[in-house]
């Protein structure tokens, strides 16, 4: 049999790194491995196997989850340049990364349930149990789904997130691609709830991706999104409670409606300090709503309340989670500034 040069001073079979266990035909050719050599080694009972078209697993037996993900990316990548011909002369210290081991994954991202599993979702099935791995590629790529790979096309490839070095779609996009293949309402609800509850993303970003994917017309998706909005509000309210108590703000009255005595309803507020006439309102708009119309309503209410001498602080769930101390400082400043303002009009405070 033709001698196959090793990819490092150690024999190929002793290399455990996944990027040494899964290689493309182009990469093997770059190491002097001919097509005939590959065919010989991939015969039944041989030491290698073809895992996907043009992608080879350099050991017998089942592939690992990591190998399947790597193979899927190599199959879908725009180009897989062969490793440098002189790679054989580069010594690799035990435990060190071979400088030529990194492979390009041009124009390919893991998405869908596989991406959610990599992000750490407990409600997503483990990678090894997935029949298919979704790979996101630009629409014009000439690729077809095959084996364990399902090709998902997009007009513009989003910027990747990296999980243990693997390029994956950000959580909102991965959710949309996963939901597109799911018909079980419970599974959709679990994924969306975990995304918001565990802080992977905001409800608005999820709804934006679902809207772009034209999935909101599906009844089981619409139901999950309605629950998602309620979940997002509950989480934001919890963070608001934490902000008040952990940053030493005085206790407000929570979830109230304001009315003028004997007059019209002024609107609901998430927190209100009657003595200082300072209010906090959570901004939980989603892309499903008409942004201009909803914001106009926010602005009208705020303007009316401020004409009555009530300071309104708008806080988004994202800012509340990512910059709680800064938001607490804004509220504290508004409370302290109340001493320098004219007294506010008398309003009736009712539970909401």
Q: What are the sequence ranges of the domains in the chain?
A: 1-93, 107-235, 247-351
Burial status of residue 135 (CB atoms within 10 A of its CB: 0-12, 13-18, 19 or more): buried
What integer pLDDT is reported at residue 294 of this predicted model? Answer: 60
Spatial distance between the Cα atoms of 182 and 218, rounded to a whole number of angstroms: 11
Closest CA to 236 of 276, 267, 196: 196
Q: Which of the four pLDDT bands, split at 50, 70 and 90, describes residue 92?
A: very low
Give 330's pLDDT tier (boundaries 50, 70, 90).
very high
Sheet holding 166-168, edge to edge: 149-154, 133-138, 109-111, 166-168, 161-163
pLDDT of 214 reads 93
Residues 6+ positions from 292 with CB-CB distance below 8 Å: none
Would you state the pLDDT for residue 267?
A: 86
Contact between 232 and 270 (Cβ < 8 Å): no
Residue 162 pLDDT > 80, yes or no? yes
- Tokens read off for 262: 């004997």
**Angle at which helices 65-76 and 112-119 pack, to 10 degrees?**
130
138 phi, psi to nearest 5 deg: -60, 150
Fold designation for 247-351: Endonuclease; Chain A (3.40.960)
Q: Judging by DSSP bridges, how do beta strands 166-168 and 253-259 pair with one another?
A: unpaired
Of 11-25, 35-49, 55-69, the range with the lowest mean pLDDT is 11-25
pLDDT band of 91, cuts 50, 70, 90: very low
What is the distance between the alpha carbons of residues 267 and 255, in angstroms, rounded to a whole number? 11
10 Å Cβ neighbour count for 127?
17
Lowest mean pLDDT segment, chosen from 21-35, 129-143, 270-284, 287-301: 287-301
> Mean pLDDT, the chain, as a whole number?
84
CA dist., res. 312 & res. 278, Å (int): 6
What is the CB neighbour count within 10 angstroms for residue 141? 15
Name which of 150, 130, 136 is nearest 64 in CA terms: 130
Model confidence band, residue 155 (pLDDT cutoffs 50, 70, 90): very high
Stretch 204-223: mean pLDDT: 91
Structure tokens at 214: 């034209």
Mean pLDDT of 253-265: 89
Q: How many residues in the chain? A: 352
- What pLDDT does 174 receive? 97
């Amino acid at each position: 049999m033709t001698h196959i040069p090793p990819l490092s001073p150690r024999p190929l079979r002793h290399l455990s790194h996944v990027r040494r266990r899964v290689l493309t035909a182009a990469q093997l050719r770059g190491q002097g491995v001919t097509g005939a050599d590959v065919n010989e080694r991939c015969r039944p009972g041989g030491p290698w196997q073809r895992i996907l078209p043009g992608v080879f697993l350099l050991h017998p037996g089942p592939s690992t989850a990591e190998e399947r993900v790597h193979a899927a990316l190599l199959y879908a990548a725009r180009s897989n340049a062969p490793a440098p011909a002189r790679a054989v002369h580069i010594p690799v210290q035990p435990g060190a990364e071979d400088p030529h081991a990194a492979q390009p994954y041009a124009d390919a991202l893991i998405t869908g349930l596989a991406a959610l599993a990599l992000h750490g979702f407990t409600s997503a099935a483990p990678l090894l149990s997935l029949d298919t791995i979704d790979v996101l590629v630009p629409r014009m790529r000439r690729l077809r789904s095959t084996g364990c790979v399902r090709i998902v096309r997009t007009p513009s490839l989003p910027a990747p997130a990296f999980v243990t070095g693997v390029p994956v779609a950000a959580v909102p996009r991965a959710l949309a691609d996963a939901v597109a293949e799911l018909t079980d309402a419970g599974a959709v609800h679990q994924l969306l709830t975990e995304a918001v509850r565990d802080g992977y993303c905001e409800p608005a970003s999820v709804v934006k991706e679902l809207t772009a994917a034209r999935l909101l017309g599906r009844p089981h998706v619409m139901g999950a999104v309605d629950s998602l909005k309620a979940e997002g509000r509950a989480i934001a309210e919890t963070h608001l409670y934490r902000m008040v108590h952990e940053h030493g703000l005085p206790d407000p009255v929570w979830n109230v409606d304001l009315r003028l005595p004997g007059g019209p309803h002024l609107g609901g507020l998430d927190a209100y300090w009657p003595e200082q006439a300072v209010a906090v309102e959570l901004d939980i708009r989603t892309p499903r709503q008409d942004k201009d119309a909803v914001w106009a309503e926010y602005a009208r209410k705020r303007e009316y309340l401020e004409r009555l001498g009530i300071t309104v602080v708008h806080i988004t769930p994202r800012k509340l989670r990512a910059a709680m101390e800064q938001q607490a400082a804004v509220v504290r400043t508004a409370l302290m500034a109340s001493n320098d303002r004219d007294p506010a009009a008398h309003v009736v405070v009712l539970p909401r």
